[in-house]
Structure 1
Amino acid sequence: MRSKLDSADLGGELWAGPYRLDSLIARGGFGFVARATHAPTGRAAAVKVMHADLFADPTAIPRFEREAAIIFELPHPNVVRVHEVGRLADGRPYFAMELLTGQSLDARLADAGRLAIDEVLGILEPLGGALAAAHARGIVHRDIKPSNVFLAEGRAEGRVVLLDFGVAKLLDNAGPSLTASRATLGTLPFMAPEQVLGQPLDTRADVYALGALAFAMLTGKPPFGDQATAVVRQIHLHARPPRPSERAPVDPALDEPLLRALCRDPAGRYATAPEFVRALRTASSAATSPPNPKRHAALIRPSMAVSVALRADPAALADGDEALLTALETSLPLVSAELTAAGLVLSKETATNLLAVSPTPPDPPFARRVLEACVRAYRRVLAGPLSGQPADLGIVAHVGVLHTSEAGTILPGGLLDVTSWSPAPVRGVVATQQALDRQDLPRSPFPNDPRFFFLER
């Protein structure tokens, strides 16, 4: 990103009213933010200016000024303060805000990976208050995500600051349309399903986003991953969110309030952001600290695991092919039924992936029963739901170890870390050398990797 401003930004000007624009802080689809100095007082500020190439759009100026008005009229300690609003000489609007020092929540997560529950609640509680103030005025933020939350240093009003109301929705006033030009209607990994579909929404869309934010802080990723692809969009709309405790060493007591906030039906969510945060704090008070995986690394037990992955053509998913969606929804239950009948138990399950493990160490007869179930499940799915569909099924079996606590709770690592023992995405049934130990099943070599063998392809 450029650190200096140039004529493309300001048409030759380096001033916005009384503010001298010094350097670039950030650039977005609708405008840029510059570090600035208020000439009369010497006070540092952040100035947001609309992009020059949007000036010809008749809706752009009202939309930009509406963001400034929303923030200006929302005097909450955890919402960024607006000092004043003005126009450049060429007529483009700008608004000057307080200049924050510190780091975004996005940067904090990049550094830490995930956060402890006490820090999560310390961030969620002021955000919940800011959203409650916005909702009381009929404002839905619509873009709650880590990059729009700032962790300020030395700020008297509060460390946590909510930014960017650029795509906010006024419930009691239609206002200028936000669907035109380059305005963004949210960020997919944190959007409520009704928002993804462009349906009418209310303040509970922000409750969903706050739940997704909490999920990301606790586990390191939002519920359906952090990529905004057509495949993720379909998973987001049709899959149940996973339990946080399945993704990271998070106490299972926190699962229920998070999953309620992430309910696909708005009626099933908490009515307000503070209500969700209070429920999460209550659950955290009842929770016990999750075991430390490093401390209990010696507590391991042999097990057999089967990883299953569905992959569909992204273009067909993006088109919303109903037959394909139905096929995907019915394929994994068939595989799951075969694996559980063979003696495995489900450990993780999403719309397109599942992981099943054995509850006891697998002897050769047990392993053979599981491998035969994998082949049988693959044949059933290929001949049934996926017949003629632009989708693939991959099943990989392996024997290794599970990490457990002294109480028997399964911890991350070992067989739960599928990427450490499974090959790249495959079509067919693949077994590792460990899974095939003392088995005489027909097999063929896996290309360029002697650790794996095809049982069916």
Structure 2
Amino acid sequence: MDERWAGPYRLESVIARGGFGVVARATHAPTGRAAAVKVMHAELFADPTAIPRFEREAAIVCDLPHPNVVRVHEIGHLSDGRPYFAMELLDGESLDARLAAAGRLPLPETLDILEPLADALAAAHARGIVHRDIKPSNVFLAKNRAEGRVVLLDFGVAKLLDSAGPSLTASRATLGTLPFMAPEQVLGKPLDIRADVYALGALAFAMLTGKPPFGAQATAVVRQIHLHARPPRPSERAPLDPALDEPLLRALCRDPAGRQASAPELVRALRAAGETTKRPRTPGPAASSARPSMAVSALLRAEATALADGDEALLSALEMSLPLVSAELAAAGLVLVEETTTNLLAVSPTPPDPPFARRVLEACVRAYRRVLAGPLSGQPAALGIALHVGALHASEAGTILPGGLLDVAAWSPGPLSGVVATREALLGQDLPRSPCPSDGRFFFLER
């Protein structure tokens, strides 16, 4: 950033950049106290709602004294008129970084994070504030903080219920982060605190399974599926007690009236559901091993124009397709690791011998034919299925860890139509095949 000062704060280095401003590490010159200073982007001057929104974020946090909400020290303006506010400087990591390192979290750790987060949301809701952007990057896990380890950040798109002032969201009604947004928020409809209950449910889902209910990407496909598809059961996405399914799926109910009435109610329901769940060990990097495994990745694609039109027949076809694939793979002996409406990943629980590999290869071809002859028949959509044999990393307790075959982007061929397999997956097989023009590592078995 160009400016070196924000009022009495000497700006030193950029910590983070967001849609509304830059956060810098700073020092309060009169006292030497370290701080984090958020300054609005200069290019937002052209947006008449930007300054009021930025100032409102600071005012909301100032009026929300809670141990699990970041503290604001001071509000001011730069010489060019841009607003800034100074906050406590936090030491630690975001929940986003924690999930990137761990893949997913055990239930006790998840609850330890969700409980203070729900308390902070309850305090905001009691003051008529809906956060509207609950996501891993807006939750901070602080070290050595007396007020509390879990800190809720970024009220930049928060909504004040029953506000007498002018609307600051009329032109950008879908502010938020798609994978964690309630359907009514995606559609720009009026919302209340139950939008945050949905977001907290989606966050809990991501913490426990490793991914949000409908995937982490904000695409047109995900938007339509988010609005129309049923969320998967968490216990189908990760090795979780099925007792956790009901409270999470209730929080993710498309109808706000079907959700828990408050954030603390959701957390209480999760804790009650988990009382009979054995406390799992947190996997550590020193207790991991790698073994050969066969992986199958399936990806559905659809024409963007048809999705944008909200074609109900297409959405229904997409929703029915991958369950057919997963059923064939399960029957062949694979274990489902991840499934959304548009993609799935399954792996073999043991190293694949030639008979096992043959069974899986044939199951993939059979699944592809069933889907094309069934749900996708006549629809503007395509299915690609890819097979590979590589390393699967697991903890001593058997928990599958990130990396290796779970890093699908590192080995998959990308979007395609048909069934393809690598040389490693085809080792010892005499199935008919043809080279894949777009990726020399793969061979078509069906197209």
Q: Report TM bin, short chain.
A: 0.7 to 0.9
CA distance, structure 1, for counterparts of residue 205 and residue 48 of structure 2: 39
Say if 1:93 and 1:244 are closer, same or farther in 2 by CA, change over 3 A: same
1:129 paired to 2:119: yes
Q: SS where residue 274 of structure 2 aligns?
A: helix
Q: Distance in 1 between matches of 2:345 and 2:79?
A: 61
Kindly provide the amino acid, as one letter, of the partner of residue 202 in structure 2: A
State the partner residue of 2:59: 69
CA 200–110 in structure 1, closer or farther in 2 if over 3 Å, else same:
same
Question: Which amino acid is 1:201 matched to?
Answer: L
TM-score (norm 1): 0.77
Are 2:110 and 1:98 equivalent residues in the alignment?
A: no
Tell me whether 250-259 or 213-222 shows the greater mean CA deviation.
250-259
The residue identity in structure 2 corresponding to 1:248 is A
Counterpart CA distance in 2 for 1:133 and 1:309 is 42
2:51 match: secondary structure = helix
Contact residue 59 and residue 176 of structure 1 kept, 8 A: no
Deviation for aligned residue 1:125 = 0.9
How much has 1:146 moved relative to structure 2? 1.4
Corresponding position of 1:284: 274
Instruction: Give the direction of change, closer, same or farther, for the CA distance of 1:440–1:342 in structure 2 (3 Å limit).
Output: farther
Within-5 A mapping of 1:18-417: 18-173=8-163, 175-179=165-169, 185-289=175-279, 308-332=298-322, 339=328, 350-353=340-343, 378-379=368-369, 381-382=371-372, 385-394=375-384, 412=400
Query: Which amino acid is the alignment partner of residue 381 of structure 2?
Result: A
- Distance in 2 between residues matched to 1:388 and 1:133, nearest whole Å: 51
Of 348-357 and 17-26, more deviation after overlay is shown by 348-357
String of CA shifts for 1:276-311, please: whole Å, max 9, x gaps.
Answer: 1112122222102459999999999x9x99865422
Contact kept in structure 1, 2:70 and 2:153, CA below 8 Å: yes
Distance in 1 (CA, whole Å) between partners of 2:411 and 2:154 is 42
- 1:86 is displaced (CA, Å) by 2.2
Residue 250 of structure 1 aligns to which amino acid in structure 2? L
Residues 249 and 290 of structure 1 are in contact (CA less than 8 Å); yes or no, is this contact kept in structure 2?
no
Quick check: 45-54 or 316-325, which moved more? Answer: 316-325
Task: Give the Cα separation in 2 of the matches to 1:370 and 1:384.
Answer: 21
| Aligned-residue offset at 1:41 | 2.8
CA distance in 2: counterparts of 1:28 and 1:183, whole angstroms: 18
CA offsets 1:139-167 (integer angstroms, 9 cap, x no match): 10001111111122222211111111010
Distance 1:19 1:191 in 2: 35
SS in 2 for 1:285: coil
Supply the distance in 2 between the matched residues of 1:305 and 1:108 (Cα, whole angstroms): 26
Do the aligned partners of 2:386 and 2:412 also contact (CA within 8 Å) in 1?
A: yes
Equivalent-residue separation in structure 2 for 1:202 and 1:308 (angstroms): 37
Q: Which amino acid aligns with 1:445?
A: S
What SS does the corresponding residue of 2:145 show, helix, strand or coil?
A: coil
CA separation in 2, counterparts of 1:340 and 1:115? 26
Aligned to 2:5: 15
DSSP-derived class of the 2:69 partner: coil
Counterparts of 1:377 and 1:40, CA distance in 2 = 69
Superposition deviation, residue 234 in structure 1: 2.3
Q: Report the Cα distance in structure 2 between the residues aligned to 1:281 and 1:334, rounded to whole angstroms.
A: 33
User: How many Å separate the matches in 1 of 2:233 and 2:52?
Assistant: 42
User: Aligned AA for 2:244?
Assistant: L
User: What's the CA shift string for 1:314-358, capped at 9, x where partnerless?
Assistant: 454345344532442454567678x59989899575323467999
Say which one has the larger Rg: 1
The residue type equivalent to 2:113 in the other structure is: I
User: Retained in 2: the 8 A contact 1:24–1:32?
Assistant: yes
The 3 A distance-change label for structure 1 pair 246 and 63 is same
1:423-434 aligned within 5 A: 425-429=415-419
Mapped to 2, the partners of 1:143 and 1:47 lie a distance apart of 20
Structure 1 Cα separation of the partners of residues 78 and 296 of structure 2: 62
Q: 2:434 aligns with which of 416, 421, 445?
A: 445
After superposing the two structures, state which structure 1 stretch, 381-390 or 166-175, moved more: 381-390
Moved more, 136-145 or 306-315: 306-315
Gap runs ≥5 in structure 2: none
Higher mean displacement: 218-227 or 154-163: 218-227
CA deviation after TM superposition for structure 1 residue 272, in Å: 0.7
- In the superposition, relative to structure 1, how do residues 55 and 252 fare at CA in structure 2: closer, same or farther (>3 Å)? same
Identity of aligned residues (%): 79
What TM-score results when the alignment is normalised by the length of structure 2?
0.78
Shift of 1:108: 2.2
Determine helix, strand or coil for the equivalent of 1:55.
Answer: helix
Cα pair distance change 1:125/1:101, threshold 3 Å: same
Alpha-carbon separation, structure 1, partners of 2:373 and 2:21: 52
Quote the Cα distance in structure 1 between the aligned partners of 2:227 and 2:201. Answer: 16
Equivalents in 2 of 1:37, 1:50: separation in Å? 18
Measure, in 2, the Cα distance between the counterparts of 1:62 and 1:280.
38
Give the SS at the match of 1:95: strand
